[in-house]
Amino acid sequence: MMNDEQYLRGRIGTKNPFRVPEGYFEGFTDQLMERLPERQPSPVAKPALLYRLHPWLYAAVFLLVAVMSVTLYMHHADNQEQQLAQDATSADSYFEEATDYAMLDNYDIYACLASE
């Protein structure tokens, strides 16, 4: 491997074989622009209406989902509140029955069992 590299360097040398004329890159852009034909720029086409409305459609869908979510949450909260009020009312009636039962003495229990 090393011999091949030394052989090539000995035969070709280390000089760069490529040459660029003096001042070539200094006037390159001007020369290139002179060679290009004159053209009128083509008009830029407007995107279709649907593509222009995409951001607004996304915003509208997001807003609709947010409003529906809040509405459902509030409806669920109202139902839950009504259920809690109903449970509290039924719990109060059970509590009243339990206190009435707890206040019974032996005579009241005997009277209740005898009436049945």
Distance separating alpha carbons of residues 116 and 110, to the nearest angstrom: 10
pLDDT at 57: 92
Q: Nearest 5°: phi and psi at 51? A: -70, -35
Helix (H, G, I), strand (E, B) or coil at 57: helix
Is residue 71 very low, low, confident or very high in pLDDT (cuts 50, 70, 90)? very high
Distance separating alpha carbons of residues 35 and 21, to the nearest angstrom: 19
pLDDT at 116: 65
Close Cβ partners of 46 (under 8 Å, ≥ 6 residues apart):
52
pLDDT at 91: 66
Calculate what percentage of the chain has a pLDDT beyond 90: 14
Residues 17-56: tens digit of each pLDDT: 788 888 888 888 888 888 888 888 788 888 788 788 889 9
Distance separating alpha carbons of residues 109 and 96, to the nearest angstrom: 17
